[in-house]
Amino acid sequence: MESGGSFLGDIKKEIPCVDYTRLAARIKIISLKFRACGVDLDKPCYKTADNASRCWIDLHLRSLNEAMRDVGMHVFEHAPGKLALSTFPDVYTEYEKCESTLLESATLAYWLLKEHRCVTRLDLGDAAVLFCNFPALFCKALRQNKGLEEVRLHPRDVRGVWRETRAMTVLSCTVGKLSAVLDVLDINELAPTVVSLGGIAEAVRRGSLRRLLISNGASSKIAKRLFRAVRYSSSLSELEVRCNKRLPLFSAAILSDALRRNKTLRKLTIEWLERDAVGTLLKSLKDNATLEELALIYSYDEPNHILWDGFEALRLNRGLKSIKLVGVSLVNSCALTAAGILRENDVLQEVCLSDNSIGDLGAGALAKALLKNSTLKRLDISECMCSYDGLSSFVKSLSLNTTVECVRLGNIDVPESWTPSTPLTASVCARLDVTWNTQGLQHWASSLRGEHHFPRLCVGWTKDTMASGIVEWFDAVRVTGASITELVITSPEGVAQECGDAAASFLELTCSLKKLTVNVKDRCYNFVNSIIRGLARNKSVGEAKFRECYLIDQLTKALQDLMRTNRTLHRLEFKAVYLKERAVRSLARALEDNFVLLTFESEYTPDVGMHHIFSVLDRNHSLLSRAVECVLNSSAEEESIRALKLLSLTDSLLNAVVEVSGKDREECRKAVQESVRRL
């Protein structure tokens, strides 16, 4: 750490109430403590503009994180030689802590941001207490950082403390100035000041900003400046605007006009729009040949001339590959129009019309359109008003269409008496994402004889489906040895124990499955427990997501076994974590010899401290980076060689090599194998 004046001078200027004599003594104690562990805080960052060497602090992240744990922050290696300073998802941090109790952590975090070019990413969430208490100090550090590429600011401000302290305004102004040199900016609630808006607009026009996400984009000040800048963007390829109130029609008109002239934007997502805004934005497609993905989510649009003009522009467009119109009040007449577009279009690969008022008439028209279309791969009309008649229409059309990979109908109440007019085949069933009745699952199971490879399967059942049908399906994919790369399981409510046992048996034996998603309703903990038991003995799955499931103490024992024995799973996700502290500690102990798991996520902030687990995950991130260096740079360091030996057979290493090198997967696989042979 800088000796004497500079550090204390900055802190003295920005926090005039500090006892400087006491602070100087405490900083000296921190410095001596780290030096005793072999960490000299006076050392400069090894990474410079001309030297990409990894910094010395890579070897001492655990010590640094121990010092910042009380304020919910940690630093970890998110890519080889690149560090992220982040708030970890944890119990809500106490914002009301007095400044004196935060000074040690504040000093260390300030030093990391100010002095270390190797810190290339900043993630701030609910627990960003340092930035809330010392906004001016940390914004000064941000302005002096030379390495930041990505900034993500997501404080939900559930207590209003950010607004009370004006911290978000100060942070927004600083980020606005920084955005010209960033690649990614994701900000939960931008404070619309002249400085913040001017900086971001200039970054869109002339900077290197590639991806921009703003959550209060309906603000008239933000929309006006930002959307006009989009017209002249130099690098921006992805824009996502999530609105805390409906996007006004006049703002949609400004953006629509900008899209007619934009030459860089490839992906646009707007969430929550005023009436007629959807049609207004669609009309820009007539003159735009650059946009490839468009998602317009949640609006109220009656079928009027504005919407029809928008659909006509979509009909003429030949650049768009994905269109998502979700929850925008589309009716059967809109689906009929969309079907007409699909019959003529030879570019669209994905169409999502979910959460609309589309019934069997519209579904039938879309199903018939598939007979004429040869490019569409994914169609989603889930959460609409389709019945089993709509399902019958798609069973028939998919038997004649071999291009479509997935038609998602979602949860349809298919009666036990339903039988399709067209025989169910393995190919048809594999491409339908729908809840099946007992006969549907049994017919699907019986069609699985012989060799089959499925890149992605979705299996689900209704609340009335008998356990025998569910068991028969899992037994069939297990016994026939069907090759499945990704599996999505949907269960509307609790099922019999034998269903969980059958699913676990399949997971124990499959060698092809890489990704598993489980959507369960009504907290089917016995079924989830069985799935986790199966994963503990699985040797192929790399990602497991339990979308609607809470992690509770009842699942801890099975999860401990998984963490002790599984050596392929690198990503684990639950909806929320409700564990006692002793359960978290037991999971962390189970992870001590697990060097593969990298991500342990939940949609909601846990109500218990998770730093014991995240400390192990940080270690695993560093090991992965060392293994990547051994593959790509032939690193002969002992730590890199050890990391490669530990991770040589994992998908996480292969994925990381692909991401860092930019080469194709097979070439990277050969590079990993060659590196292992050289050991």
Return d(Cα 524, Cα 491) in angstroms, integer.
8
Supply the mean pLDDT for the chain: 88
Task: Say if residues 303 and 310 touch (Cβ distance below 8 Å).
Answer: no
Task: Note the pLDDT tens digit of each residue in 462-478.
Answer: 999 999 999 999 999 99
Is 16 contained in some domain?
Answer: yes
The pLDDT of residue 307 is above 90:
yes
Return d(Cα 595, Cα 617) in angstroms, integer.
8
Is 433 contained in some domain?
Answer: no
Q: Tell me which of 63-77, 82-96, 98-112, 414-428 is least confident.
A: 82-96
The pLDDT of residue 158 is above 60:
no
pLDDT of residue 608: 81
Is 25 contained in some domain?
Answer: yes
Residue numbers of the domain that contains 77: 1-118
Q: Is 545 exposed, middle or buried (0-12, 13-18, 19+ CB in 10 A)?
A: middle
Is 45 contained in some domain?
Answer: yes
Return d(Cα 660, Cα 653) in angstroms, integer.
11
The stretch 560-581 carries a mean pLDDT of 94
Return d(Cα 593, Cα 591) in angstroms, integer.
6
Residue 119 has what DSSP assignment? E
pLDDT of residue 2: 46
Return d(Cα 286, Cα 320) in angstroms, integer.
11
Q: What pLDDT band is residue 583 in, cutting at 50, 70 and 90?
A: very high
Is 31 contained in some domain?
Answer: yes
Query: CB-side exposure of 533: number of CA atoms within 13 Å?
Result: 16
| Highest averaged pLDDT of the listed ranges 82-96, 217-231, 567-581 | 567-581
pLDDT of residue 4: 43
pLDDT of residue 1: 44
Is 19 contained in some domain?
Answer: yes
pLDDT of residue 5: 46
The SS3 assignment for 491 reads: strand
pLDDT of residue 140: 87
Is 99 contained in some domain?
Answer: yes
Is 109 contained in some domain?
Answer: yes
Q: Tell me which of 47-56, 159-168, 633-642 is least confident.
A: 159-168
Between 64 and 160, name the one with better pLDDT: 64
pLDDT of residue 160: 55
Q: What is the number of domains present in the chain?
A: 1
Between 146 and 516, name the one with better pLDDT: 516
Question: Is 0.75 surpassed by the pTM of this model?
Answer: yes
Longest alpha-carbon distance in the chain: 85
